[in-house]
Amino acid sequence: GNWNVNIVVVGCGIAGIAAAHRLIKSGFTNVRILEATGRSGGRIKTGRLGDKIIEIGANWIHGPSEENPVFCLARQYGLLDPEALTPENQAFDPEGDHPWVYNFFSSSGRKINVEDVYPAQELFAELLSECSEFQNHQGEPYASAGDFIRSEVRRRAAEKWKDIDSATRSLRLCVISSMLKRECCVNGAHSMGELGLGAFGQYKILPGLDCTFPGGYEGLITNLMSELPDGLVSYNRPVRCVHWSNTEEKLNSVTVECEDGERIAADHVILTVPLGYLKKHHSSLFQPPLPLHKLHSIQRLGFGTNNKIFVEFDEPWWDADCDAIQLVWDDEDALVDQVPDVHRSWIKKLFGFTVLKPTERYGHLVCGWIAGHESEHMETLSEQEVTHAVTQLIRRFTGNPSIAPRRILRSQWYHDPWTNGSYSHLALGCSEQDLKNMMEPLPLNGSKAQPLQVLFAGEATHLCYFSTVHGALLTGWREADRLISHYSYNPSERLTSK
Ligand code: 6YU
CA 258 to centroid of ligand 1, rounded, Å: 23
Ligand 1 pocket test, pick from 187, 303, 351, 469 with the greatest ligand atom count within 8 Å of Cβ, gives 469
- Complex ipTM value: 0.96
Q: Using CA atoms, how far apart are residues 327 and 153, in angstroms rounded to an integer?
A: 19
Number of other residues whose CB lies within 10 A of the CB of residue 240? 15
CA 171 to centroid of ligand 1, rounded, Å: 35
- Adjacent-strand bridge partners of 103: 325
| Helix, strand and coil in the chain, % to nearest 5 | 40, 20, 40
Residues with CB under 6 A from ligand 1: 10-16, 34-37, 42-44, 57-60, 62, 186-187, 200, 203, 238-239, 272-274, 277, 306, 308, 411, 413, 418-419, 422-423, 458-459, 467-469, 472
By the 10 Å C-beta count (0-12 exposed, 13-18 middle, 19+ buried), 168 is classed as: middle
Ligand 1 pocket test, pick from 17, 21, 37, 43 with the greatest ligand atom count within 8 Å of Cβ, gives 43
For atom 52 of ligand 1, the residue with the nearest CA is 458
In ligand 1, the atom with minimum distance to the C-alpha of 475 is 52
Q: Which of 21, 144, 2 is nearest to 477 (CA)?
A: 21
Q: Do the Cβ atoms of 258 and 237 come closer than 8 Å?
A: yes
DSSP 29: -
CA 206 to centroid of ligand 1, rounded, Å: 18
263-266, strands of its sheet edge to edge:
263-266, 254-258, 239-243, 286-287
Ligand 1 pocket test, pick from 127, 467, 473, 474 with the greatest ligand atom count within 8 Å of Cβ, gives 467
Q: Is the pLDDT of residue 180 over 60?
A: yes
What H or E segment, with its residue span, contains residue 51?
A: none
CA 369 to centroid of ligand 1, rounded, Å: 16
Q: Do the Cβ atoms of 378 and 285 come closer than 8 Å?
A: no
Torsion sign, CA atoms 453, 457, 462, 467: negative
CA 424 to centroid of ligand 1, rounded, Å: 8
CA 409 to centroid of ligand 1, rounded, Å: 19
For atom 55 of ligand 1, the residue with the nearest CA is 203
CA 268 to centroid of ligand 1, rounded, Å: 23
Q: Using CA atoms, how far apart are residues 319 and 299, in angstroms rounded to an integer?
A: 45
For atom 41 of ligand 1, the residue with the nearest CA is 468
Mean predicted lDDT score pLDDT of the chain: 95
For atom 45 of ligand 1, the residue with the nearest CA is 468
pLDDT at 170: 97
pLDDT at 135: 81
pLDDT at 15: 99
DSSP 269-334: EEE---HHHHHHHHHHHEESPPPHHHHHHHHHSEEE-EEEEEEEESS-SS-TT--EEEEE-TT-TT
Contacts of 192 (CB under 8 A, 6+ apart): 144, 145, 146, 149, 180, 183, 184, 337
Q: Do the Cβ atoms of 200 and 134 come closer than 8 Å?
A: yes
Q: Is the pTM of this model over 0.90?
A: yes
Q: Is the pLDDT of residue 140 over 90?
A: no
CA 237 to centroid of ligand 1, rounded, Å: 20
CA 14 to centroid of ligand 1, rounded, Å: 8
By the 10 Å C-beta count (0-12 exposed, 13-18 middle, 19+ buried), 101 is classed as: middle
Q: Using CA atoms, how far apart are residues 280 and 274, in angstroms rounded to an integer?
A: 10
* Residues 139-151, mean pLDDT to the nearest whole number: 93
- Adjacent-strand bridge partners of 368: 309, 353
In ligand 1, the atom with minimum distance to the C-alpha of 18 is 51
Q: Do the Cβ atoms of 208 and 63 come closer than 8 Å?
A: yes
Could you report the per-residue pLDDT of 418-470, keeping only the tens digit for each? Answer: 999 999 999 999 999 999 999 999 997 654 667 899 999 999 999 999 999 99
Ligand 1 pocket test, pick from 22, 202, 273, 375 with the greatest ligand atom count within 8 Å of Cβ, gives 273
Q: Using CA atoms, how far apart are residues 413 and 306, in angstroms rounded to an integer?
A: 8
CA 459 to centroid of ligand 1, rounded, Å: 6
pLDDT at 251: 65
Q: Say how many Å lie between the first and final Cα of the chain, rounded.
A: 16
- Cβ density class 437-461: b for 16+ within 10 Å, e for less: bbbbbbbeeeeeebbbbbbbbbbbb
Confidence of residue 369 (pLDDT cuts 50, 70, 90): very high
For atom 48 of ligand 1, the residue with the nearest CA is 459
pLDDT at 246: 80
CA 45 to centroid of ligand 1, rounded, Å: 10
Amino acid at 203: Y
Count CA atoms closer than 13 A to 78's CA, side-chain side: 0
Q: Using CA atoms, how far apart are residues 119 and 137, in angstroms rounded to an integer?
A: 28
Amino acid at 475: T
Q: Using CA atoms, how far apart are residues 472 and 59, in angstroms rounded to an integer?
A: 14
pLDDT at 445: 65
What H or E segment, with its residue span, contains residue 164?
A: none
- Adjacent-strand bridge partners of 327: 105
Q: Is the pLDDT of residue 22 over 60?
A: yes
Rounded to 10°, the helix 275-285/292-300 angle is 150
Strands (E), 166-232: none
Number of other residues whose CB lies within 10 A of the CB of residue 187? 24
pLDDT at 447: 47
DSSP 163: T
CA 308 to centroid of ligand 1, rounded, Å: 14
